[in-house]
Amino acid sequence: MRFFRKSLTGLFLFALTLGLLAWAGIMVRESVQAKMNAEPRKRPAQERVFSVNTVTVTPETAVPVLSVFGEVQSTRTLELRAAASGALIDLAPEFVEGGQVAAGQLLGRIDPADAQAALDRAESDLLDAQAEGREAARAIDIARDELTAAEEQVTLRAQALKRAEDLLVRRVGTEAAVETAELALSSARQSVLNQRQAVASAEARIDQSATALRRAEIAREEAQRRVADTEIRAEFAGTLTDVTVVAGRLVSTNEQLAQLVDPAALEVAFRVSTPQYARLIDEAGRLRDAPVSVVMDLYGTSLKATGRLSRESASVGAGQTGRLLFATLDAARGFKPGDFVTVEIEEPPLERVARLPATALGADGAVLALDTEQRLEVVPVTLERRQGDDVLVRASALAGREVVAERTPLLGAGIKVQPIRPDGAPAPEPEMVELTAERRAALVAFVEGNQRMPAEAKTRVLAQLQQDKVPAEVVARIEQRMGG
């Protein structure tokens, strides 16, 4: 009996367990089917709002600055070359690399022995020519005196012939005496001709002596120049560079010994494009006298100098483009010829242009501006200049509006954004709306029934909904989630 009771109890518990398992299986199956057959709950789509950096467009009168690269060079560079050949002697202590020399200073001398000997010979020849000139002058004086004496002899012979003829007429003289007198007169006249020839020869001798004297003077001057060519002097005050000489070295004619550079007369040469050049000329086509700033960066420090545009190259140059311009520098302290520098030139001012970051301008030549609903709008602008990381644009319709400072591929027309303004810029007041009692109650009920909202956020939103005026952005976000 006892065994039978225990058996029935065990059988009952087993049947109850099977029933519970079957009931649990049925509940699980029904739950799965209900889940599968139930329509999925769709959350209302939420618009994504991007945070963007914005700047306010403020038209102004801007002075564009043209920035190019150039090279500093000296306007006075002289090559010191040997005008004669020989050994270098008497070198000045300043005749070294970087030596500072004064105008007219004697830097060195080529051995002048041969040139001095040639000068001595030229001076000796000059003395001979001067002596020959004096002798020719004395000779012509004697020749003229002899001519005068011969002419007097002709006069006397003529008188003697006349007396002989008178005596012959009075039958006192003889015809032989007359013939003798005529022969004597003819001989005297021949002597006059000979003396005239001697005077002409003496005058020719004077001309020849004058020519010889001039040639001797020219030879002496040439010899003096050759002696002067043995001296190497500085034509102006400056600094020596590329010095290749030492005392006692043999140099040849026209060999370059050094270069003399005037460090106070510096200019910068730079090349600009043709459109940039067109902005630097006036209405008459002449280069404007624009101010120039030259900067050379030196690993944290920089050298700066100012100047003005001075001239332009007459031709473009083979294989070159644009225009080569030159600017004269004023007190270029620390600059040396050959320095690679940045040249900044002030262009004519532009009126009613806005300065924006270069990242605000897209490849399509437009910017993204914010409308009254904080949505983006594509506004085309006219690019005037690029200034480093900024651009100067012209768009009268953008005056006072905010534009996106940094465009990205995610931004486009119609997208709602949250502007992040620069430091110190006042943020606009949020738009406030008044709610009706029914609309307020519906919003409160939705917020209180939202189990996914954190308690802190729910408390803050409910406090805003209890106010007389509620931010329009909060209301729009809640109604968007409600699907209304």
Cα 285 versus chain centre, distance: 20
Q: Tokens for 248?
A: 């006692």
**DSSP-assigned beta bridge partners for residue 55:** 403
- Strand, helix or coil for residue 61: strand
pLDDT averaged over consecutive 10-residue blocks of the chain (484 residues)? 71 79 82 68 62 88 90 89 87 87 89 88 89 86 83 82 77 76 81 84 86 90 89 88 85 89 89 90 86 84 88 84 90 85 89 90 88 84 88 84 87 84 60 79 82 74 81 78 66
Out of 3.40.190.10, 2.40.420.20, 3.50.50.60, 2.60.120.10, select the CATH number for domain 51-61+351-420: 2.40.420.20
Return the amino acid letter for 290: A
Count CB atoms within 10 A of the CB of residue 373: 8
Q: Residue 371: phi, psi to the nearest 5?
A: -95, -170
What is the C-alpha separation between 78 and 95, in angstroms, rounded? 14
Residues 367/56, Cβ–Cβ less than 8 Å: no
Cβ neighbours of residue 196 closer than 8 Å, sequence gap 6 or more: 147
How far the first Cα of the chain sits from its last, in Å, is: 74
Which one, of 475, 439, 479, 444, lies nearest residue 459 by Cα?
444
What digits encode the pLDDT tens for the residues 351-388?
889 999 999 888 888 899 888 778 888 889 988 888 88
Residue 218 confidence (pLDDT): 92
Containing H/E element for 27?
A: helix 2-37
DSSP assignment letter at 44: P
* Domains in the chain: boundaries: 51-61+351-420, 65-108+234-348, 113-229, 432-482
Nearest CA-CA partner of 435 in 476, 483, 482? 476
Please give the pLDDT value at position 39. 55
Q: Which CATH class is domain 65-108+234-348?
A: mainly beta
CB distance 231 to 130 below 8 Å? no
**Angle at Cα 450 formed by Cα 29 and Cα 458, nearest 5°?**
150
Beta strands in 339-435 (DSSP E): 340-346, 350-357, 366-370, 376-380, 382-387, 390-394, 402-404, 417-420, 432-434
Strand-pairing partners, residue 391, are 356, 386
Superfamily of domain 113-229: Helix Hairpins (1.10.287.620)
Mean pLDDT, the chain, integer? 83
Each residue of 455-468: b (16+ CB within 10 Å) or e? Answer: eeeeeebeeebeee
